[in-house]
Amino acid sequence: MAFEALLILILIGAIAGYLAGLIVKGYGFGFVGNIIVGIVGAVFGGWLFPLVGLFAGGTILGQIISATIGAVVLLLLIGFFRKIA
């Protein structure tokens, strides 16, 4: 992976984590934690969308939407397992 691609992934993940923290209240991990969850959510969303047959588009906005949805799903899963434990 090129350095530029990694930097873009981190930036998109940071934006997605921030947005996911705003969308999913109560399951956040603070500003820095949500950014980390957003980065993981960006990878998760990039993996999940093609599996269900969706394509977010090649634009930055489409990637941010995909990453935000991935981060929201990840935050909800973490919150679910946090309630069980």
Q: Token digits for 11?
A: 């930036």
Q: The domain containing residue 48 runs over which residues?
A: 3-84
Q: Report yes or no: 13 and 68 within 8 Å, Cβ to Cβ.
A: no
What is the C-alpha separation between 41 and 26, in angstroms, rounded? 17
Give the number of domains in the chain: 1
Q: What is the pLDDT of residue 28?
A: 64
Question: What is the per-residue pLDDT across 63-85, written as a single tens digit (0 to 9) for each?
Answer: 888 888 888 888 888 888 877 86
pTM, two decimals, is: 0.81
- Residue 1, pLDDT score: 62
Sign of CA dihedral 43, 49, 50, 56: negative
Reduced to 3 states (helix: H, G, I; strand: E, B; else coil), residue 1 is coil
What's the CA gap between 10 and 59, in Å, rounded? 16
pLDDT tens profile 12-38: 888 888 888 888 876 667 777 877 888
